[in-house]
Structure 1
């Protein structure tokens, strides 16, 4: 089992499983058995109380994806404590790139769908970069590329996910129910207190932390879901509250222990199951490219991400004292910006949140996500493969290779 877990922690393996699940969903949804696929997605189960009688698709988007967002929040906490984000000057470039790479695609979508009523509601769809996919592709094509490029991408993706979390929390909340929301905030405070060094020392040795933390996490998730706030926010909030420093007597802090245990589960179960539920778009190519929703998503992911990330990075270097890592070239940043147009996981979630009352618009948006992400994979792979070959061919100790 340890070998399986180690394999599932590899970027490439997670990306492959995600791709396979998406391909299966697409093939199934466009096959003669598409009715069975739709029946599976819409089969509902769960207790009726607290709005927990959900379809399988909703359990994947609201429940399983909360685990993914927990890891996102947890990784962000680690970046603040141990990583690039604890050095503001060093983090300036990927932070600006992430924000610009979220804002510009949203503006591109809004421009394409300006004045089109409900169609403009999907501006958040092309904002997020799928870190699992992007890092997996970089791992596959990046042999020879500077390690600084992966660090830049990870920092960018973490901040990008934070922007997506804020957008979901602020713009995609339903009608709020204050009683469960206040109760959830109270339990979140208790969850945060349990992460303190004092609580770690007070907890009896015979009581494992998960025995307290897991039931508390489930209660927080259920209350947030009942409040009308999207339930994935509960996962992100708990991830941000995780303690990322070990106390005396601990071999590993809770943050890194949770990541070590949950990352294989996320790679093998959470993201593939979500992809299987969300990526089954019935493709009607002619209709898709006639849809301004799909066109807006595609242009946002393919053009908006490049303009935002590469342009934002260039402007920051030009107008401020910030400097690009000397191990990187602007061609590397261009390839990374193209790769960041992979908007799979969060973009598919945003599509469902943007058009809850229109299955056709959801399909158009998801089709745009899949096409835009595929184009981004091709462009980023070509650029970074060329760069990788150049890096491998240069003499040892030589300066930046030209394109």
Structure 2
């Protein structure tokens, strides 16, 4: 007697009343876009992890060579002050490419993604804001006493989506696509908040003539783009001039990157199959994930690791505030903000998911690396010792978050895998998952 096939999971019920279900089934085009983006970010996260490991080995085994390479100066000193160290070129230059891609992602989310729907956007926005406020508050509380330093309050507020997804690739976890989409959207909003924090709180000595010329360059960038003028040989030099003027103005140069990303058109017109923003993002993202961010990590993550340094992480106010902000503040803030939004709005949690799933992803969002390391440099510009302590705390806090999240996700791994197998099942081989061909 033939064994009957196993019963398939019941399709998740659709929401009633016309409002969108929180973490429900995504539209197929949106799901495919998210999957493509996540695959790239996952590879970038692995490269980022490798670059960080190389930096730690280099800085601890050959510290003099690492410092010499980081401090090596290259670039013209006139007419703009671009005679920068390699570390500064990585922080202010290469990371601008990362923020350029983040700006395009944000623009796309506003015009064609999750953030275009006010009710759907409310959840990741509230979660991201909560995941920034609570870590800052915890840091401030820890550093309010003697020996504290409030200048680093923003260090534990950032989420590194590439690193988080790289950890997922390493542990082989199968997250449901809706949870992954939530994590990606959350990170996009988180990046925007981080950019605003850098622009407002970590810019000083503003030169308005340079800022005005940079803004004029952005207007020209927008005008040429809207006139459908093409040619990298025109836009790349213009982008460099805008970046250089922004750097000269005293506003952090990465703001120029996100501004240019936001100016790109991310909706299709006429017979276009792909918007200019999506096309440029597709071209630039490999450069960002495969080169710019790993090189930044190579020059930013090289801190001396010793028993004394690790002990100071849990005994000194600055590093302890950062670790608590990442491990406790990010996870509790994101989870609590999401729960409150779902509790007091019409949003609904997918019945096939549990709040423990969301808490695991919230803990994963505590992995702060790229932007946290950058803010560590900006928060303590005159004290290399404090900056090194902050960087060590970022590494330790991110490692703890990755460890805790891995344990939590492993506990749900079988459930995740079953959900993914059901959503991807294509019994008739037409390339469209069965779940999109079932009746309402």
Relative to the length of structure 1, the TM-score reads 0.90
| Contact 1:9-1:263 at 8 Å conserved across structures | no
| Contact 2:98-2:289 at 8 Å conserved across structures | no
Partner of 2:102: 72
2: distance between equivalents of 1:394 and 1:266?
32
Task: Give 2:137's match in structure 1, choosing from 99, 107, 118.
Answer: 107
1:28 Cα deviation from its structure 2 partner:
1.2
Task: Give 1:389's match in structure 2, choosing from 402, 409, 414.
Answer: 414
Post-superposition Cα deviations, 1:32-85, rounded to whole Å, max 9, x if no partner, equal x21010010011110112221100000000000000000001100010111000
Post-superposition Cα deviations, 1:260-312, rounded to whole Å, max 9, x if no partner, equal 11111112210110000000011222333332111010000000011100111
1:251 Cα deviation from its structure 2 partner:
4.7
Aligned: 1:317 with 2:342: yes
Task: Give 1:363's match in structure 2, choosing from 388, 411, 420.
Answer: 388
Partner of 1:379: 404
Change (3 A) 1:151 1:9: closer
1: distance between equivalents of 2:341 and 2:275?
35
Aligned: 1:153 with 2:183: yes
Change (3 A) 1:123 1:254: same
SS class of match (2:292): helix
The structure with the larger Rg is: 2
Deviates more, 1:278-287 or 1:223-232: 278-287
Partner of 1:267: 289
2: distance between equivalents of 1:270 and 1:46?
18
C-alpha root-mean-square deviation of aligned residues, in Å? Answer: 2.2
Post-superposition Cα deviations, 1:113-163, rounded to whole Å, max 9, x if no partner, equal 014577110000000100111123334546543210001001100000000
Partner of 1:10: 40
1: distance between equivalents of 2:209 and 2:137?
36
Partner of 2:332: 307
Aligned: 1:27 with 2:52: no
Change (3 A) 1:395 1:252: closer
Task: Give 1:292's match in structure 2, choosing from 317, 322, 341.
Answer: 317
SS class of match (1:341): coil
SS class of match (1:360): helix
Partner of 1:3: none
Partner of 2:88: 58
Unaligned runs of 5+ in 2: 1-35, 424-440
Higher helix fraction (1 or 2): 1
Unaligned runs of 5+ in 1: 1-5, 399-403
Change (3 A) 1:195 1:110: same
Change (3 A) 1:395 1:176: closer
Change (3 A) 1:226 1:69: same
1:396 Cα deviation from its structure 2 partner:
8.4
2: distance between equivalents of 1:89 and 1:59?
40
| Contact 1:105-1:299 at 8 Å conserved across structures | yes
| Contact 2:38-2:165 at 8 Å conserved across structures | no
| Contact 1:134-1:339 at 8 Å conserved across structures | yes
2: distance between equivalents of 1:17 and 1:322?
37
Partner of 1:179: 209
2: distance between equivalents of 1:93 and 1:64?
32
2: distance between equivalents of 1:168 and 1:187?
21
| Contact 1:61-1:349 at 8 Å conserved across structures | yes
Task: Give 1:353's match in structure 2, choosing from 378, 388, 393.
Answer: 378
| Contact 1:12-1:140 at 8 Å conserved across structures | no
| Aligned residue pair count | 384
| Contact 1:9-1:267 at 8 Å conserved across structures | no
